[in-house]
Structure 1
Amino acid sequence: ITGEGIAPAKEKDAPVRFYRSGNSAPGFACSANNHLPCAWGAVKSMLALSKVPDATRTPAIRAAIATGSEFLLSRDPAVADYPMGYATKPSQSWFRFGYPIAYVTDVLQTLEVLTALGYGGDARLRPALELLLSKRDKQGRWRMDYTYNGKMWVDVEHRGEPSKWVTLRAARVLRRCERPL
Structure 2
Amino acid sequence: MAMEVMDWLLEGDPAIRWQVLRDLVQAPPDQVEAERARVETQGWGARLLAARDLDGQWDGGACFPRRIVDDWQAGIEPDFSDGQPWTSTLPTLMLLHDLGLDPASAAARETIGLVTVNCRWEHDGQAFFDGEVEACINGRTLSIGAYFGADVGSLVTGLLADQLDDGGWNCWTERGAIVSSFDSTICVLEGLSEYEESAGNVSVSDARRRGEEYLLERQLFRRRSTGEVPAERWLQFSWPPRWHYDVLRALDYFRRTADAPDPRVGEAVQLVRDKRQVDGTWLLENTHPGQTQFEFEDGDGRPSRWNTLRALRVLNWYDCQR
TM-score class, shorter? 0.7 to 0.9
Tell whether 2:122 aligns with 1:122: no
- 1:42-101: CA deviations, max 9, x gaps? 111111222245582657211122111111111111x43269xxxx96222201101111
Q: What SS is found at the alignment partner of 1:51?
A: helix
Tell whether 2:189 aligns with 1:40: no
Higher strand share: 1
Q: What is the distance in 1 between the residues matched to 2:206 and 2:200?
A: 10
Higher mean displacement: 55-64 or 42-51: 55-64
Match of 1:63 among 198, 206, 210: 206
Task: Output aligned runs, 1:102-141, within 5 Å.
Answer: 102-141=242-281
Structure-2 residue corresponding to 1:178: 319
Task: Output aligned runs, 1:22-101, within 5 Å.
Answer: 22=135, 25-27=162-164, 28-30=168-170, 31=172, 34-54=177-197, 56=199, 60-77=203-220, 79-81=221-223, 90-101=230-241
Structure-2 residue corresponding to 1:4: none
Higher helix share: 2
Contact 2:169–2:185 (CA under 8 A) maintained in structure 1: no
**Which is greater in Rg?**
2
Q: What is the distance in 2 between the residues matched to 1:153 and 1:69?
A: 33
Structure-2 residue corresponding to 1:7: none
Tell whether 2:134 aligns with 1:21: yes
Higher mean displacement: 129-138 or 28-37: 28-37
**Structure 2 residue runs without a partner (length 5+):** 1-130, 137-160
Q: What is the distance in 2 between the residues matched to 1:71 and 1:106?
A: 15
Higher mean displacement: 122-131 or 49-58: 49-58
Question: What percentage of aligned pairs have identical amino acids?
Answer: 24
Cα distance, 1:82–1:164 mapped onto 2, change above 3 Å: farther
Specify the code of the residue in structure 1 equivalent to 2:264. Answer: R
Q: What SS is found at the alignment partner of 1:104?
A: coil
Cα distance, 1:58–1:70 mapped onto 2, change above 3 Å: farther
Structure-2 residue corresponding to 1:161: 302
Q: What SS is found at the alignment partner of 1:174?
A: helix
Measured after TM superposition, the shift of residue 172 of structure 1 is 1.8
Specify the code of the residue in structure 2 equivalent to 1:144. Answer: L
TM, length-normalised to structure 2? 0.43
Q: What SS is found at the alignment partner of 1:114?
A: helix
Q: What is the distance in 2 between the residues matched to 1:54 and 1:22?
A: 20
Specify the code of the residue in structure 1 equivalent to 2:307. Answer: V
> How many residue pairs get matched?
157
Tell whether 2:305 aligns with 1:151: no
Contact 1:94–1:105 (CA under 8 A) maintained in structure 2: yes
TM, length-normalised to structure 1? 0.73
**Structure 1 residue runs without a partner (length 5+):** 1-17
Q: What is the distance in 2 between the residues matched to 1:102 and 1:128?
A: 20
Q: What is the root-mean-square deviation of aligned Cα atoms in Å?
A: 2.9
Q: What is the distance in 2 between the residues matched to 1:170 and 1:82?
A: 25
